[in-house]
Amino acid sequence: MKRVALLGSPVAHSLSPVIQNTAFRVAGLDWCYEAIETDAEGLEPAIQRMRAEVWPGANVTIPLKEAVMPLLDELDPSAVEVSAVNTVVNEGGHLVGHNTDSSGFMRDLRALWRVPAQGLAVILGAGGAARAVAAGLARQGLELVLIARSPGRAGMLAEDIRRTHAAEVGVLPWIGESFAQVPDHCVLIVNATPLGTAPADQDMPWPVEVPLPPGAVVYDLVYTPKETRFRQYARQSGLQSIPGGGMLLEQGALSYERWTGRCAPRRQMRAALRRALERLDA
């Protein structure tokens, strides 16, 4: 049996094993996908193990999407654009880093909302997921504002997006005044932080005392619980809100296609994800 792994911390909550193992089973592949709790110190040994045991590939999640880059042999243009890797493909011992997060996010967003060719989008966070979202929205032509707890990371992300996409990118600190400064003409707010993930599902990345922009769509990358507190707040404010499960599915399908060279069975993967989310909410 061939092994594919999810490396990161925390990973116990991840539903990636559900959708990937479903895909392998549907395709008749004798492969197994498992989540392996991996911190920064354990990342290099995990990559060495991947080489030694000839894993077909791996996914990489927080907080390792940038740290894994120097451990690989080559970076696909998708990873260079985002400066983050979420998918590693083992090409006969030659490890290539890809990023399927950005394309996965945009595929899901376009399926659920007519994305405008211009406008202001606010991204909460500045980690690897925020990088993927920022690259996708900048390709679309949107102006960006980053609100992040780490000014240094946010500044570096803003510089990268300005350089690679010639986009307008502003940076605000993670304080109440910043959220209040978001203009009413904002069209999209994306939570690219883990805030609100179960079991800490009462956390919210947006202060409850600050109204959401009246015309914005809210996209929360957090998918457990099925409806986060942030999405509830958006719904109660009369706004469209989109869960992160669709992005999880799309980036996972793209990863599967890179590992196997086959089209992903999206219908069965989506059904498996839906059942898993229903069990969590039961």
Q: What's the count of helices (H) and strands (E) in the chain, helices before strands?
A: 10, 12
Instruction: Kindly calculate the radius of gyration of the chain based on its CA atoms and give it in whole angstroms.
Output: 18
Q: Enter the pTM of the model.
A: 0.93
What percent helix, strand, coil does the chain show, rounded to 5?
40, 20, 35
Nearest to 82 by CA among 51, 113, 126: 126
Same fold, 2-100+246-281 and 114-239: yes
Q: Which residues contact 195 (CB under 8 A, 6 or more apart)?
A: 124, 203, 204, 205, 222, 230
Report, as an integer, the average pLDDT of 152-178. Answer: 95
Within 10 angstroms of residue 47's Cβ, the number of other Cβ atoms is: 21
Q: Please write the tens of the pLDDT for every residue from 173-205.
A: 999 999 999 999 999 999 999 999 888 888 999
* Confidence at residue 48, expressed as pLDDT on a 0 to 100 scale: 95
Find tokens 């350089």 and name the residue. 163
Nearest CA to 96 out of 107, 104, 86 is that of 86
Q: Any idea which architecture 2-100+246-281 has in CATH?
A: 3-Layer(aba) Sandwich (3.40)
User: Is residue 65 annotated as a catalytic residue, yes or no?
Assistant: yes
How many CA atoms, within 13 angstroms, populate the side-chain half-sphere of residue 133?
28
Contact between residue 97 and residue 76 where contact means Cβ atoms under 8 Å apart:
yes
Instruction: Please tell me the predicted confidence (pLDDT) of residue 120.
Output: 98
CA distance 92 to 56: 9
Q: How far apart are the first and last CA of the chain?
A: 33
Determine the 3-state secondary structure of 189 from DSSP: strand
Catalytic residue among 19, 29, 60, 65: 65
**32-88: pLDDT as tens digits:** 999 999 999 999 999 999 999 999 999 999 889 999 999 999 999 999 999 999 999
Query: In angstroms, rounded to a whole number, what is the distance separating the alpha carbons of residues 33 and 57?
Result: 10
Question: pLDDT at position 153, please?
Answer: 94
pLDDT digits (tens, 9 = 90+) for 226-261: 889 999 999 999 999 999 999 999 999 999 999 999
To the nearest whole percent, how much of the chain has pLDDT over 70?
A: 100
- State residue 282's pLDDT score: 64
Q: What's the CA angle centered on 249, arms 11 and 67, to 5 degrees? A: 45
Q: What is the mean pLDDT of the chain?
A: 95
The CATH number of the structural domain formed by 114-239 is: 3.40.50.720
Burial state string for 238-249 with b = 16 or more CB within 10 A and e = fewer than 16: ebebbbbbbbbb
pLDDT above 90 (res 280): no
The separation between CA 248 and the C-alpha centre of its own chain, rounded to angstroms, equals 7
Please name every residue paired with 190 in a beta bridge, in sequence order, or none if there are none: 123, 219
Q: Which residue ranges make up each domain of the chain? A: 2-100+246-281, 114-239
Do 52 and 24 touch, CB atoms closer than 8 A?
no
Instruction: Give CA separation, 171 vs 161, 174, 191, 211, in Å.
Output: 12, 10, 15, 20
